[in-house]
Amino acid sequence: MKRSGRIIFHVDMNSFYASVEMAYDSTLRGKPLAIAGNVEERKGIVVTCSYEARAFGVKTTMPLWEAKQKCPQLIVRKPNFERYRKSSQAMFALLRNYTDLVEPVSIDEGYMDVTDCTLSLTPIQIAEEIQQRLKSELLLPCSIGIAPNKFLAKMASDMKKPMGITVLRKRELATKLWPLPVGEMHGVGAKTAEKLKTIGITTIGELAEGNDYQLKHLLGINGERLKKRANGEDNRPVDPDSVSEFKSIGNSTTLPSDTDDEQVIEKVLEKLAVSVSARMKRKSVLSQNVQLVIRYGINHTVTRSRKLANPIESVEHIMEAALFLLKKHWNGEPVRLLGITAQDMVEKDQSVKQLDLFTFQEDAKHEPLHKTLQELEDKFGKGIIKRGIKNKNTVQSSSTAKLTTSFQKDFLE
């Protein structure tokens, strides 16, 4: 049944990690459950928690010791990313039963364009069926927003949790959207909300009517974009291929105890470099910029990056850049957290290495191989042979590193 206007769903899984654990272990259902990193360590942070735990005041990013004070009977589990990845894959596979236009945006949420859905069902009936199937087949609850574009669908899915279905039409903006605090708007973080407050904007409605010059002066081009969003304008299509578009791959870890031992710090950096390199190789990408994060205390974090002359992927080169940044920017105080992020990603087959006097001799060693590969590609087609072997061991080494990863764009690997 062809429909006029776009019909976009935003499917948002409720307390995803906790819900997956409950689906895996039925004894956890209906109980206050928290998923936390570094469960046995003093720096454990709640990654997510069940709605039963939230009823006691437990929140995401809350220190584990505080969460246990609020809810002494809290059950704590370590993250199991492989388990979450499989559940995510199953969830998106189910969504694709309805349309090919499914765009994953993270491990637990995605957009669907059901405008041309041929089923003889209304959008609300389709949403109800999806919600019921996810709950009955995968034991996973979700909320679904229905709207004419992605921004409004995202806002709608947040309006009723858990297990909510909300329709948000443009004609309802004045009553449903504009009264909300501007900080609750998708795309407006705490810092942006504070900036908007300085020009008298505290609600989404006030942003929708904001002065164009003021907004551009305060937020740059993002000010114009946010005003359009507040007025319900969003022309972005649902793009199934956008999941492959990522700009960085990073890992971080909180140390068991603060340390100024340089050898310990270097070993942690090496572990991070190994994990980042493994994930880059899985994706066949190179990095042109390496970022190092050093945290000394709760409110003291230093972030520095180094632009590279040539794209890299190896542990050795990532480690070299990280150590350079460490020696330059570490003040010698005890370190609490370290992180390495590979930025400005490029695909291997699209990268061009800049040869110079220092790298020419090394590159020349591989010239016969490059020539042979080029001849094979000319004869049989691009990509007929790839360097390196992707195997289970490579993936496993990354997943067992017990590090915090930027999990948003590689969960379908």
Question: Using CB atoms within 10 A of its CB, is residue 261 exposed (0-12), middle (13-18) or buried (19+)?
Answer: exposed
52, 103, 109, 313: which is the annotated catalytic residue?
109
- Cα angle vertex 406, ends 404, 409, to 5°? 145
Burial annotation 63-87 (CB, 10 A radius, 16+ → b, else e): ebeebbeebeebbbbebbbeebbeb
Q: Is 116 annotated as a binding residue?
A: no
21 is catalytic: no
Query: What token pair was written down for 410?
Result: 């590689």
Distance CA 75, CA 22 (A): 11
The residue written with tokens 């870890």 in the block is: 253
For residue 251, give the amino acid letter.
N
Find out whether the peptide bond into 123 is cis, omega within 30 degrees of 0.
Answer: no
Q: Is 344 annotated as a binding residue?
A: no
Pair 28, 12: CB distance under 8 Å: no
Q: Please choose, from the candidates 248, 247, 249, 250, the residue with its C-alpha nearest in 3D space to the C-alpha of residue 337.
A: 250
SS3 217: helix
Name 148's Cβ contacts closer than 8 Å, sequence gap at least 6: 5, 6, 7, 8, 169, 170, 232
Give the residue ranges of the annotated binding site: 12, 108
Give the residue ranges of the annotated binding site for Mg(2+): 12, 108
**Residues tagged active-site:** 109
